[in-house]
Amino acid sequence: MIKNSRKELEEILIQTALRIAKRGEGALFIVGDVEYETLIDQNVPPFKAVDNPKLLESLALIDGAVIISKEGSVKAYGAMIKSTSTFRNYGTRHSAALTASKKQGNLAIIISEEDRKIRILKEGKIVMQIDALQKDIEKSVPNAIQFLESIGAGTIGTIGTGLLAPSLGITLLPGIIIFGSAYYLGRLMTQRLTR
């Protein structure tokens, strides 16, 4: 998938996640390859997520994960991911996301109905948390995508320990906490301040 298409997919997923979170519902999006079983019949044929965000949102509300190929096609919905990792103090959706995100190149976006936060995981680590209840959060999404795109192999540092100690993450955008290594966070701050 070309980089601009990936950015467009990530933006659609986050905007969809915000709508779901604001209603107090939960969901899970997985972008990449993951082992899963479908919990329901797959009556909707594969489609590009960016072409039909309303259908994407409807499918996300079905119990289970929405699985999206790296090229942006929705492959399955109502999917159960066998968790091999446990996300302490959180439910099965978070554990499934943690497991799925450990495969290189995968992205997991969890929408939590309990706290209405969106957590984004890469390489088995939380890299970003978005508060859906922050006023005008939608305006920050393009900048959040820019940060998300710059997070690659080698730049992800600490796990999402910011859940336990938010001071380990950094907030450069209202309602968005970015987690990562001190070097990476320092670089981001320098870039943001010089623009």
Residue range 29-41, pLDDT digits in tens:
999 999 999 999 9
**Distance set, CA 13 to CA 48, 52, 83, 145 (Å):** 12, 11, 22, 10
Residue % of the chain over a pLDDT of 70: 77
191, pLDDT greater than 90: no
81 strand-pairing partners: 36
| Predicted confidence (pLDDT) per residue in 47-91, tens digit | 999 999 999 999 999 999 999 999 999 999 999 998 887 777 778
Reading the block at residue 13, the tokens are 């997923």
Share of the chain above pLDDT 90, in %: 50
Q: Using the 8-state DSSP alphabet, how is residue 181 labeled?
A: -
| Predicted model pTM | 0.81
Q: What pLDDT band is residue 26 in, cutting at 50, 70 and 90?
A: very high
**What residue spans define the domains of the chain?**
3-193
Q: Is 194 exposed, middle or buried (0-12, 13-18, 19+ CB in 10 A)?
A: exposed
Q: What is the mean pLDDT of the chain?
A: 81
Q: Distance between CA 6 and CA 89 in Å, rounded? A: 31
Confidence of residue 159 (pLDDT cuts 50, 70, 90): very low
User: pLDDT confidence of 172, banded at 50, 70, 90?
Assistant: low
Domain 3-193 sits in CATH at 3.40.1700.10
The tokens for 98 are: 């943690």
